[in-house]
Amino acid sequence: MTRITVVGGTGYAGSAIVAEAARRGHEVVSVSRSVPAEEARVEGVRYETGSLVDADVRARAVADAEVVVSSLSPRGELDGRIVEVDRELAALAAQHGARFVVVGGYSSLRLEEGGPRQAETGQIPPEYAGEALQMNEVLGELLASRDSLDAESLDFLFVSPAMQFGAYAPGEALGRYRVGGEVAFTDDDGVSAVSGADFALAIVDEIETPAHRREHISVAY
């Protein structure tokens, strides 16, 4: 059993990860600005509320965790502050010896080996560009940390989901997925998609049996 804290644990990705981790018997804490309705809560999960821009809330979230999953999005109060918040969560995770897993975005992937990350091309539609750029900056800081003097202190993983991922395209739980690197990939029909349930499956599999450390990976069918 692993002690897992999911910040943003009531969002689309976060709630799926919380449910999957609890189903497998892990000790799960969800930290977010609100708690789900009673009937939507997962049995055995401890739900805590608070703003992640608050240093005390961040410290409490990480204090007893073996793995911290950040499924936060740069929206609302986190718009313009997500980089700072994830940076501080990463520092706390390193301090406490916890693994730090970030749910990123599809736009941080490259379309071809050696090509630019999509968020860096200037071709993201304006309505999505802000979120894409901010999450890409989170990734950039994590990758840069590998070259720091205490690089080994932070065990991180940045995971980009498929293009079709979110409440608008929930998909079905197929019980399978594929893991790739930082170059986007598709299925045999040329579709880049993954359901919330199967993305969560990949995250919890990685928590239980770490196969990737201090790198950027992607999950799709």
For residue 210, pLDDT over 80 is answered with yes
The pLDDT value given to residue 149: 53
Per-residue pLDDT, averaged over 81-110, amounts to 97
The values of phi and psi at residue 109, to 5°, are -80, 155
Please say whether the beta carbons of 63 and 96 come within 8 A: yes
Q: 98-107, 123-132, 147-156: which has the minimum mean pLDDT?
A: 147-156
Please say whether the beta carbons of 6 and 71 come within 8 A: yes
Fold designation for 3-220: Rossmann fold (3.40.50)
Return the closest-CA partner of residue 132 out of 121, 143, 142.
121
The pLDDT value given to residue 152: 62
Chain-wide mean pLDDT for the chain? 95
Which residues partner with 183 through β-bridges? 110
Structure tokens at 123: 């071709």
For residue 151, pLDDT over 60 is answered with no
Q: What percent of the chain has pLDDT over 90?
A: 91
Please give the helix or strand (H or E) that residue 7 lies within, else none: strand 3-7
Q: Global pTM?
A: 0.95
Domain residue extents for the chain? 3-220
| pLDDT 10s digits, 181-206 | 999 999 999 999 999 999 999 999 99
DSSP state of 54: S
| pLDDT 10s digits, 22-35 | 999 999 999 999 88
Please say whether the beta carbons of 30 and 46 come within 8 A: yes
